[in-house]
Amino acid sequence: MPSPGFLEIARSEELEEGKGRPFHLEGHAIALVRHEGSVYALEDRCPHANAPIALGPVENGCIACPWHYAEFDLKTGSVLSGPACESISAYPVEEEDGRIFVSLTPLPREGT
């Protein structure tokens, strides 16, 4: 049973290792990414040009914007390289019994 406040967003088999996929949950665009066995949830919008983050390449613990290759940390949403200048929201994730759950309360940003 998921923690209170977590909502089902996807089935585990919908995610492929090393790739992102876009989802919508209660009006939020969410990029789910499976990397090294863990699932991460990020805001699915690059702050530089509104590109869909879920469609970008995933490697070394980050995902890159598919348009201009700004990189974001999968765990925190922190911007690691430009042209984006601001981070994106990262959300808590739980995976249980073949189902993926997300809390829409963003994780705290580094330095806050």
In order along its 112 residues, the chain shows pLDDT tens digits of 899 999 999 999 999 999 999 999 999 999 999 999 999 999 999 999 999 999 999 999 999 999 999 999 999 999 999 999 999 999 999 999 999 999 999 999 765 4
Domains and CATH numbers, the chain: 6-102 (2.102.10.10)
Distance CA 92, CA 28 (A): 14
Distance CA 64, CA 50 (A): 13
SS3 15: coil
Rounded to two decimals, the pTM is 0.94
33: CB partners within 8 A, 6+ apart: 15, 19, 20, 21, 39, 40, 41, 42, 54, 58, 63, 74
Q: Which amino acid is at 12?
A: S
